[in-house]
């Protein structure tokens, strides 16, 4: 009986997802038309919408639907800024590459993208150096995750939040992939900081070890 109920719930959920994605996808296109060519698109915002941005998700809980793994909805080239915080690490590399291309098609000429994701290189350095930053990072997670030894600095990147399904980057890999997709002038920036006022103060966590353990990059669309 429980198995039958679970199957029915999944079936209903899939159909609701299809219905809401169509309706909320129309809302996204309408929002783009209203804001273009200066639309601000925040991807995968979860429960933390950003004021002044078109906040998107792939669930029914958010009013504006956008699946960045699919081709950008019309009208293309309508966004001046796109922001992805802890999104790209959930995709395998081939899907992440498609996401980069789709975002580039959504950006207006000279538009900018900003991505925040776990940093494999900094986690590895914290592990190898047995640094104070690594110790602080482990201490933060001890009550909620298995974080007993320095090895967990690496293991946690892949073991939690479905990261094992995706791809973990360092700066060299992420900048290379963005350039392959067609982006220009890829730069690393500190969490919460930017030369572009639109991108300042966006990251959810910039305090303590999180300031050092995240990879935040910005890149430009050609124009």
The pTM is what? 0.89
Mean pLDDT of 127-142: 96
Is residue 217 within 8 A of residue 108, CB to CB? The reply is no
Mean pLDDT of 84-106: 96
Is residue 112 within 8 A of residue 221, CB to CB? The reply is yes
At 15 the pLDDT is 52
User: pLDDT grade, residue 145 (50/70/90)?
Assistant: very high
At 17 the pLDDT is 56
At 3 the pLDDT is 58
Q: What is the DSSP string of 57-72?
A: BSSTTSSSB--TTSPP
Rounded (10°) angle between helices 132-141 and 152-159: 50
189: pLDDT strictly greater than 70: yes
Task: For residue range 20-69, list pLDDT tens digits in order.
Answer: 555 666 888 888 888 888 899 999 888 889 999 999 988 766 668 888 99
Task: For residue range 146-172, list pLDDT tens digits in order.
Answer: 999 999 999 999 999 889 899 999 999
Q: Is 109 helix (H, G, I), strand (E, B) or coil?
A: strand
Determine what percent of the chain is predicted with pLDDT higher than 70: 87
Domain regions of the chain by residue span: 2-220
C-alpha span between 181 and 103 (Å, rounded): 9
Q: Is 209 helix (H, G, I), strand (E, B) or coil?
A: coil
Task: For residue range 1-17, list pLDDT tens digits in order.
Answer: 555 555 545 554 555 55
Domain 2-220 top-level CATH class: alpha beta
Spatial neighbors of 141 by CB under 8 A, at least 6 apart, are: 147, 152, 156
Identify the residue with better confidence: 9 or 174.
174
C-alpha span between 44 and 152 (Å, rounded): 26
- Residue among 95, 96, 81, 69 nearest 32 (CA): 81
């Amino acid at each position: 009986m429980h198995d039958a109920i679970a199957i029915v719930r999944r079936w209903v959920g899939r159909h609701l997802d299809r219905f809401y994605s169509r309706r909320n996808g129309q809302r996204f296109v309408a929002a783009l038309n209203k804001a273009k060519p200066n639309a601000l698109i925040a991807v995968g915002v979860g429960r933390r919408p950003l004021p002044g941005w078109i906040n998107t998700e792939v669930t029914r809980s958010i009013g504006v639907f956008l699946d960045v793994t699919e081709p950008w909805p019309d009208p293309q080239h309508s966004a001046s800024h796109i922001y992805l915080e802890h999104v790209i690490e959930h995709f395998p590399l081939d899907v992440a590459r498609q996401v980069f291309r789709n975002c580039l098609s959504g950006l207006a000429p000279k538009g900018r993208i900003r991505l925040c994701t776990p940093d494999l290189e900094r986690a590895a350095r914290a592990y190898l150096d047995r640094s104070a930053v690594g110790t602080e990072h482990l201490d933060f997670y001890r009550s909620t995750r298995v974080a007993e030894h320095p090895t967990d600095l690496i293991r946690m990147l892949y073991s939690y939040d479905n990261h094992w399904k995706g791809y973990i980057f360092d700066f060299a890999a992420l900048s290379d992939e963005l350039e392959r997709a067609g982006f220009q002038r890829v730069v690393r920036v500190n969490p919460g900081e930017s030369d572009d006022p639109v991108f300042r103060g966006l990251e959810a966590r910039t305090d303590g070890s999180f300031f050092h353990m995240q990879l935040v990059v910005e890149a430009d669309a050609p124009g």
